[in-house]
Amino acid sequence: KNEVEQSPQNLTAQEGEFITINCSYSVGISALHWLQQHPGGGIVSLFMLSSGKKKHGRLIATINIQEKHSSLHITASHPRDSAVYICVLGGGADGLTFGKGTHLIIQP
């Protein structure tokens, strides 16, 4: 079974700061997803990665297949970025493996 670790578990930062959330896993995967969940809200898929880097607005996601590591970056963070960010591994016959999530709070 693939083990996934996210760090940090909790992060509080000031508006405008550059945010990095990390995800490490133990077994090679075909794809990795980053999800965002606001309090009381549904889950939004931010990125699906199989290699390299993707960018969407102020969000950047990278993955290093050899090192089994992915990062989610938020530039010029804003209070509306406050949410839980979840790393999810895999798919296919093995299904999905969810990380425990990173609780991010951006203070004005």
Partner 1 sequence: EAGVVQSPRYKIIEKKQPVAFWCNPISGHNTLYWYRQNLGQGPELLIRYENEEAVDDSQLPKDRFSAERLKGVDSTLKIQPAELGDSAVYLCASRPHGGTGELFFGEGSRLTVL
Residue among 33, 59, 104, 106 that touches partner 1 (CB under 8 A): 33
Count of residues binding partner 1 (CB under 8 A)? 22
- For residue 74, CA distances in Å to 29, 52, 66, 87 come to 24, 17, 23, 15
* Distant-in-sequence, close-in-space partners of 16: CB < 8 Å, separation ≥ 6: 76, 77
Strand partners, 55: 60
CB under 8 A: which stretch of 14-22, 28-36, 62-70, 75-83 binds partner 1? 28-36
Residue among 16, 41, 52, 79 that touches partner 1 (CB under 8 A): 41
Residue type at 85 in one-letter notation: Y
Site for partner 1, rule CB under 8 A: 30-31, 33, 35, 41-45, 48, 86, 88, 91-96, 98-101
